[in-house]
Amino acid sequence: MSVLLRVHDLAVAYGHIEAVKGLDFHLNEGEITALVGANGAGKSTTLLALSGLIKASRGKIEFQGEDISRLPAHQIVERGLVQVAEGRAILTTLTVEENLQLGAYTRQDKEGIPASMEEVYQLFPRLKERAQQFAGNLSGGEQQMLAIGRALMAKPKLLLLDEPSMGLAPIVVQEIFRILVEINRRGLTILLVEQNVRQALKIAKHGYVIETGKIVLADSGANLLANPKVEEAYLGG
């Protein structure tokens, strides 16, 4: 199993406060990895650093063997590392289709975009039904589907997802996670940041537990689900 992303001693500070304190972890190609922990543990900050949206104060991020630590965010997207932001960040005054087209903005292979659009519509039939509607008129679940679909339009090699279940009804959460498993089955590597720890670890091959900016546990998803410490802290055990 080849390593797609390797992170060494990653630290991120907001002013004098260190939010992420020297993380070491890696992602294997073709797997779902979960990064779980309580609110404020440093999960979202870690993703923003990987995406180049905030600068690390130290450490190294290697993607496909290349050091991307100092690259600007748009160049990181061009290399295939794409993030779905917390809160979805869709453009509400554009149509569903226009949002999806924006996802393909950095692509050089313009002739391949219609096929990608069709793939997204196969994964999310509801988006096809609403293709010409304004994104602001979609339900929360549909907006989350659109955010994931827009990221897929960039043809990522690694998809970073920040709290995809946030604010959604349980039945919609089940659907989102089912689609993530399907996307992964098609070969896409996923790093999933999630407060819904049980749901995330159920679908993850590997997991890392982060507390106050440090990784405190690393194991397979199944082992972490069965770990009494995880159960007590996060699963209401």
Q: What's the rounded Cα separation, in Å, for the pair 130 and 126? A: 6
pLDDT in single tens digits along all 237 residues of the chain: 799 999 999 999 999 999 999 999 999 999 999 999 988 899 999 999 999 999 999 999 999 999 999 999 999 999 999 999 877 688 999 999 999 999 998 888 888 999 999 999 999 999 999 999 999 999 999 999 999 999 999 999 999 999 999 999 999 999 999 999 999 999 999 999 998 899 999 999 999 999 999 999 999 999 999 999 998 888 765
CATH code of domain 1-80+159-237: 3.40.50.300
Q: Where do the structural domains in the chain lie, given as residue ranges?
A: 1-80+159-237, 92-155
In a 10 Å sphere around its CB, with 0-12 CB exposed, 13-18 middle and 19+ buried, how is residue 175 labelled?
A: middle
Q: What's the rounded Cα separation, in Å, for the pair 217 and 2? A: 22
Residue 125: both structure tokens together:
């039939």
pTM beyond cutoff 0.75: yes
